[in-house]
Structure 1
Amino acid sequence: MERREIEIFLTVAEELHFGRSAERLHVSVAMVSKSVKKLERAVGAPLFDRTSRRVALTPIGERLHADVEPAYRQILEGFARAVAAGRGVDGVLRVGFLGTAVGQFVLQVAHAFHTRYPACEVEIVESRYTDGIGLLHDDAADVLLLAAPASDPGLVQSPVLFTEAPVLAVSARHPFARRASVTVDDLARDKVLRPRGVPDELDALSVPPQTPGGRVVERGPEFATVQEMLALVGAGRGVFPVPTHASRYDARPDVAYVPITDGPRFEWRLIWRRAAETQRILAFCRTATDLAATTDSPLLAG
C-alpha cells in the first residue's frame, strides 16, 4: 500500500465526496476512484457506500479510518519534527484566543514554545465571539484556540487539549443563583443570550434549540464580546452557558455561575488553515499538547 493511496482514502473519508477530494489533492476524480477500488480489493470489502447522491463509509471503512488516521498523522508529525529540527523554526507566529483565562494559557504555551524555539516569536491576538474563524481567513492570525471543532474542511484542528464542564451565567438576583445546580432543561425557563455571528451548528453545541424534555429554548439579546455577555446577564436580560473557568476569571458581583449537571463539555482545540500550515504552527501545537498534558485543567491551574 502506497502513501498516496492512504492519503486518498483518508481524504475521501473526511470529505465524503470524490470531486472535492480530487480537488483538494490536486488529482483527477478518476484517480481517486481507481485508488479507492484498488484499496477495496486489497481489503476484500467495500470501504464506501457510493450512490449518485451520496458517499458514506461502510462499517469496515469506519474502522479502517479510525485505525489508520491517528497513525498516519503521527507519521506526518514525526517527519515534520525532523524537518523542523533540520531547518529550524523561526519567524513570527500569531495566535488568537477568546477570554482572559484562555489568553493566559496561550501565554504559558508561548513561553514554553519560545524556550524550545528561541528564533520564533509569538504574537497573541485577542478575538471576539463575532470574529469566529474570521481571523484565520482574514490572515489576522495563524492559529486559534477555540472551544469548538473545525467545521470547515479547509481547516485543521489539533487533538482536544483539555475539556471543561459547563456552568450557567445568571444574574445574581436570578432564582437559579440560589440553586446548587441546573440542567439543560432549565434553559427553557429563561431567555438564553445569542453570540452574534456564530453559525447555528456551533451555537447548538452549547445551546440546543430544544431541551431533552422537548421544550423550545427562547433566545435573548445578541452579544459580541465576553464583557457584553456578562453585562447583559448581570442586568437580568438572559442567561448563557460558559466554561467552568469563567467562575474564577470572570467573577463579578452581579453575576453568579451555576453548574449545569448534564450539559456538554467544552472541548478546547487549536485550529488553523490547511493551506497555511507551517512548521511554526505544528511546533506550537506540539508544545500546547505537551503543556496541557501536565494538568487536568490548564485554565484553572494556579
Structure 2
Amino acid sequence: MERPELPLPQLHAFVVLAEELHFGHAAARLGIAQPPLSQQIRRLEDKVGHALFSRASGRVTLSPAGSELLPAARRALTDLADGLAAARAVGSGRAGCLRIGFAASLALTILPGLLRTFRHQFPGVHLDIHEMTTAPQIAALHDKTIDIGLLREPPTDETELGFRTVLSEPFVAVLPSTHPLATQRTVQLAQLADSPFVLLPRTVGPPLHDQIIGLCTAAGFTPQVVQHAVEWQTVCALVETGLGVSLAPASIRRIRLKGVAFRRIEPGTDRTRVAVAWRENDHNPLVTGLLATISQDPPDRP
C-alpha cells in the first residue's frame, strides 16, 4: 500500500497547533492568518483520512489520530532540521570527512603542524589519513579515494591535478657511522661513487628517484644499487647495518639511529620539493579549507 506524502509545512502547522491548542495562538506563532492555518490542517487531515483535532465545545483538543501522529511529526521536523544543519556544515567546509594521503617522511616535517592547525580551524571535520608514497597518491587522487595528497617531487605531466609547492629541502648523504666519510662534516657526492647504495624503488616515486640518480650522474657515476626499500626509515635502517649508503631529503635526519650519520652534500644546490596535490575539478570545500590553511601557515624549512 502506497503511503501518502506528508508535506512538511503541514506537519509544522500541525505540531504548533497541537502545542498551542488554540488556532489564534498557533497562527500568530506561525506568522500567518487563521484561515491559511485551518486550510493546512484540513489538507493534512484529508491525507490522514481522519480528524486530527476535536473542536467540540469551543475547545481544541487532539483526537486519537492526532495523538498518534504527533511524536512522528516532531521526529520528522527534528530530522529535517538536523539534516539541514549538517548539510550547511558540510557545504561550508565546517564538517565532513577529508581523506589525505601523505609521504611517510612528512611526518617528520610539515604534517603534524599542518594537521594541528587544520583541526583547530575545522574541529568538526574528520580526517582520514593514509600513509602513501608518491605514485600511489597520484593514482588515489585519480580514483577519488583520497581528496588531498602531500607528496615529494610531483610529476610534471599531470593535467587533471593541481600542485602547489609547500617546501623544498636539500639532500643529505646517509652513511653508516663506520663509513670513512662519516668523520667529515660535508661530503662531495663523487666520493660515494664506489659505495653500494640503498634507494627507494622508482615505482614509488619516479621523479624523486630520477632526481637522485641524476645527482649521481652529474657527479660522474651511476650508483650501484644493492637494495631497495619503500620507506625512508627502512632505508636508514639498512644503511645502519652497513649494507650501503643513500641520498635522502634533509628532514630524514630526524630519524634517530645511532649507527647512521647524515652529512651535507657539497655542492648542495639541488633540492627536493614537497607539494600538496588535489583534483583541479574538485569543488570540495574541505579541500579549499586545507589549501587555505597551508597558505596561511606555511611550513618551516628544514
TM-score tier by shorter-chain length is 0.5 to 0.7
Shift in alpha-carbon separation, 1:230–1:112, aligned structure 2, 3 A: same
Q: 2:92 aligns with which of 83, 88, 93?
A: 88
CA deviation string 1:53-107 (max 9, x = no partner): xxxxxxxxxxxxxxxxxxxxxxxxxxxxxxx999411311111222355366323
Structure 2 residue matching 1:165: 3-state secondary structure: strand
Q: Give the aligned partner of residue 30 of structure 1.
A: none
Shift in alpha-carbon separation, 1:150–1:245, aligned structure 2, 3 A: same
| Residue 155 (1) aligns with residue 156 (2) | no
- State which structure, 1 or 2, has the greater radius of gyration over its C-alpha atoms: 2
Q: Give the aligned partner of residue 47 of structure 1.
A: none
Shift in alpha-carbon separation, 1:147–1:107, aligned structure 2, 3 A: same
Q: 1:203 aligns with which of 194, 209, 223?
A: 209
> How do 1:1-16 and structure 2 match up within 5 A?
none
The number of residues matched between the two structures is: 211
Q: Which moved more, 1:99-108 or 1:190-199?
A: 99-108
Question: Displacement, 1:266?
Answer: 1.9
| Residue 232 (1) aligns with residue 232 (2) | no
Q: Give the aligned partner of residue 227 of structure 2.
A: 221
Q: Give me the whole-angstrom Cα distance separating, in 2, the residues matched to 1:125 and 1:155.
A: 19
Q: Give me the whole-angstrom Cα distance separating, in 2, the residues matched to 1:198 and 1:86.
A: 33
Unaligned runs of 5+ in 2: 1-87
Q: Give me the whole-angstrom Cα distance separating, in 2, the residues matched to 1:202 and 1:87.
A: 37
Structure 2 residue matching 1:121: 3-state secondary structure: strand
Q: Give me the whole-angstrom Cα distance separating, in 2, the residues matched to 1:266 and 1:122.
A: 27
Shift in alpha-carbon separation, 1:100–1:266, aligned structure 2, 3 A: closer
CA deviation string 1:174-228 (max 9, x = no partner): 1121111113323423122231223544412233175334322322211122232
Q: Give the aligned partner of residue 115 of structure 1.
A: 120
| Contact 1:98/1:126 (8 A) holds in 2 | yes
| Contact 1:150/1:156 (8 A) holds in 2 | no
TM, length-normalised to structure 2: 0.61
Q: Give me the whole-angstrom Cα distance separating, in 2, the residues matched to 1:132 and 1:87.
A: 25
Shift in alpha-carbon separation, 1:184–1:274, aligned structure 2, 3 A: farther
Question: Displacement, 1:140?
Answer: 3.9
Q: Give me the whole-angstrom Cα distance separating, in 2, the residues matched to 1:121 and 1:115.
A: 12
Q: Give me the whole-angstrom Cα distance separating, in 2, the residues matched to 1:162 and 1:148.
A: 11
| Contact 2:168/2:271 (8 A) holds in 1 | yes
Amino acid of the residue matched to residue 269 of structure 1?
A: A
Q: 1:246 aligns with which of 228, 252, 256?
A: 252
| Contact 2:90/2:96 (8 A) holds in 1 | no
| Contact 1:188/1:211 (8 A) holds in 2 | no
Q: Give me the whole-angstrom Cα distance separating, in 2, the residues matched to 1:178 and 1:123.
A: 43
CA deviation string 1:219-278 (max 9, x = no partner): 22111222321222112222221222221x201011111111224112211012334452
Q: Give me the whole-angstrom Cα distance separating, in 1, the residues matched to 2:221 and 2:287.
A: 43
Percent identical pairs in the alignment equals: 22
Shift in alpha-carbon separation, 1:205–1:104, aligned structure 2, 3 A: closer
Q: Give me the whole-angstrom Cα distance separating, in 2, the residues matched to 1:226 and 1:199.
A: 12
Shift in alpha-carbon separation, 1:130–1:154, aligned structure 2, 3 A: closer
Shift in alpha-carbon separation, 1:256–1:271, aligned structure 2, 3 A: same
Amino acid of the residue matched to residue 198 of structure 1?
A: V
| Residue 194 (1) aligns with residue 199 (2) | yes
| Contact 1:191/1:220 (8 A) holds in 2 | yes
Q: Give the aligned partner of residue 287 of structure 1.
A: 293
Q: Give the aligned partner of residue 105 of structure 1.
A: 110
Q: Give the aligned partner of residue 269 of structure 1.
A: 275
> What is the RMSD computed on CA atoms of the aligned residues?
2.9
Q: 2:170 aligns with which of 165, 168, 181?
A: 165
Q: Give me the whole-angstrom Cα distance separating, in 2, the residues matched to 1:230 and 1:189.
A: 19
| Contact 1:91/1:120 (8 A) holds in 2 | yes
Shift in alpha-carbon separation, 1:141–1:186, aligned structure 2, 3 A: farther
Structure 1 residue matching 2:278: 3-state secondary structure: strand
Q: Give the aligned partner of residue 260 of structure 2.
A: 255
Unaligned runs of 5+ in 1: 1-83
Q: Give me the whole-angstrom Cα distance separating, in 2, the residues matched to 1:213 and 1:128.
A: 27
| Contact 1:184/1:212 (8 A) holds in 2 | no
